[in-house]
Chain A
């Protein structure tokens, strides 16, 4: 046992310095497609057609990308005409109504307890949530904790397209949480059903079942994006900044 103590004590600190500093280590995020200028509308339409999920929208001299539909298939990064790509991770967005948004700070500025519910997610998004409590991201340092019981939870983190057979469990978990409570959809299948919608067996979005406050897009969203969502909820971070301000990270 002493050996383990030494091993632990002599391992260097790995934890990211985000949010105080940007995380610039390679490989922390897959990045996302961003607004791209095109020479003409035809090229824009052609570029939009490469996307299998309709995440790219053509306009007169540009294309825009909706990250909450992008599944990171990278089809739009191949060929002659490609989307610009940005390796950032501040992807979370407030989608709840403004009254709730204005009220959110007071009780929740410092610390949050989180209950995770898996409503049919792939393993990968849960694995990214799991990384948050592990050495590299260690969200405990920011006052965020996973709790096993919804009775202690401030935030419900939902992953997956809300399958019919998990809907009741989701509703019961939500009902068991004390007020005030917040709901966060993690990953594109929780936001729009992604490749699993429309479906005979899945609802296709969390917002269709319980009121949603924050969405964290990505397939799966990297741990830093989920952390950004939590910080956004506590009012310690702002929403996704405009694209022309590059943030750390290598493409």
Chain B
């Protein structure tokens, strides 16, 4: 595993000290640096991390009092594989801290979310207020605070007139077109306001969290087994990724390491999940551009991937596999052979469709130059996953912070991350197709070299308190933070999902575009709202 070299750590500590009275906390894992950071130093240190050392902002975890507020700002390195946590303590009666999002744009939604759910004030943030909780939610009630009951329904307030954007375009001929929250056909619930003065949409105002289920609140006080069920199910199409990330955090707390066979199987399952996800996104992309035959061809591959999962793993979306210390069960030799064989066929079929699409001009016309995001834009908003890679930004956690299965030498480290430069819809399509091929190669190599042995180690007692676990979900980087008590019950759980990060960046793709391109942009982003809303 790549380490945070101790010389570099010392170096980093010295650099940090130059910003003010910070304290480096010793860590057992050399990949992680934890800095105890007074709130006055926070902003300059965060800026230094992001703008000078090329770190991405990953997550903002809040631990509410009884005793004091603890804020954990998580950063992960784009250039050097490491995690930096900045810990900021606030007095329990003084819930205020400087906003960092004017300098670090990607922290914007994280701060708004913390303000809405905890009542923390981020001084200097221009857009605090209703975000996760909409206008029907009573003002001043902060559900994530200790003492608020997770099971007790809240009396909503009646709002009249209905919500409208704070600022709208006011000019002759201006028109605001609302879409959602009951969205077209079988798509997820979200709301978009498209502002136009004629043919082109000048601005798009999105509204999310209609689907907010409060997973993080519901997890409080529950045994980890129950929380794992939720981690699998809050975004069912990325079940393996999120359960792996949660279990990785739990495994750090219990200080156990899953056996090699379990890690290999986790990789296989995660890559099947990625393949299915990419097929579904590509099908939507073809569908949005009116290409019914390619769309139907991708649908066939998607259902084949689902049936393969159902046949070999017992569940079409791979529920019920990942657990603390490894896997719940082993996979038979026949099942592994079938997976290796069938995924090869899927890869071949998808390559055929890809090459045919490259010569279909009516398809390319709809995607080239549409919804483009520059590399600078992707970096500034800390976009993740295939969308960032299409803009030429490396963000693959499997390579950057190799975890569990990917830290083993399965030939993965030798592989190159599919990268494109244009950042438009077509670049995203190429990345998706390339990742399918790469996942199949990975599955093949892993099946061939899969060690025998047990698939689970027993967990002893709780050794630590809290930890971050992460995984590269089909949509990008996911970070799960957990704190357990001595009985193994979750005290605090927070998820930073790739869809959350990428929806935040959607607005830069959706500026000055033609009306008919909106479904195309949505499809080429291929994001999940369930994952973002939690």
| Residues of A near any B CB (own CB < 8 A) | 1, 3-5, 7-8, 11, 14, 25-31, 52-53, 71-75, 78, 115-131, 133-136, 146, 148, 150, 160-161, 163-166, 168-169, 173, 189, 194-196, 198-202, 219-220, 222, 250
Contacts and interface: CB of A to CB of B under 8 A. Distances in A.
Given A30-B310, A220-B317, A201 B143 contact: yes
Interface residues of B, number: 77
Contacts of B134: 165
Contacts of A29: 310
Interface in B298-337: 299-300, 302-303, 306-312, 314-317, 319-320, 328-329
A72 B320 contact: yes
Contacts of B154: 164, 200-201
B184 A127 contact: no
Contacts, number: 217
Contact of B329 (A74, A163, A164, A219): A74
B530 A73 contact: no
B233 A201 contact: no
A135 B213 CA distance: 33
Q: Binding site of B, secondary structure by majority: helix, strand, loop or mixed? A: loop
Given A116-B186, A131-B303, A4 B315 contact: no
Given A4-B293, A123-B236, A163-B213, A134 B303 contact: yes
B514 to A, nearest CB: 21
Contacts of B320: 72-75
Contacts of B530: 120-123
Given A164-B136, A165-B134, A196 B230 contact: yes
B356 to A, nearest CB: 6
A53 B297 CA distance: 38
Nearest to A189: B233
B182 A169 contact: yes
Nearest to B299: A134
Given A123-B531, A198-B151, A199-B213, 12 more contacts: A11-B297, A27-B308, A52-B225, A74-B314, A118-B188, A122-B235, A165-B209, A165-B212, A196-B215, A196-B218, A196-B234, A219-B319
B96 interface: no
Contacts of B210: 120, 163, 165-166, 169
Contact of A199 (B150, B280, B308): B150
B376 interface: no
A25 B307 contact: yes
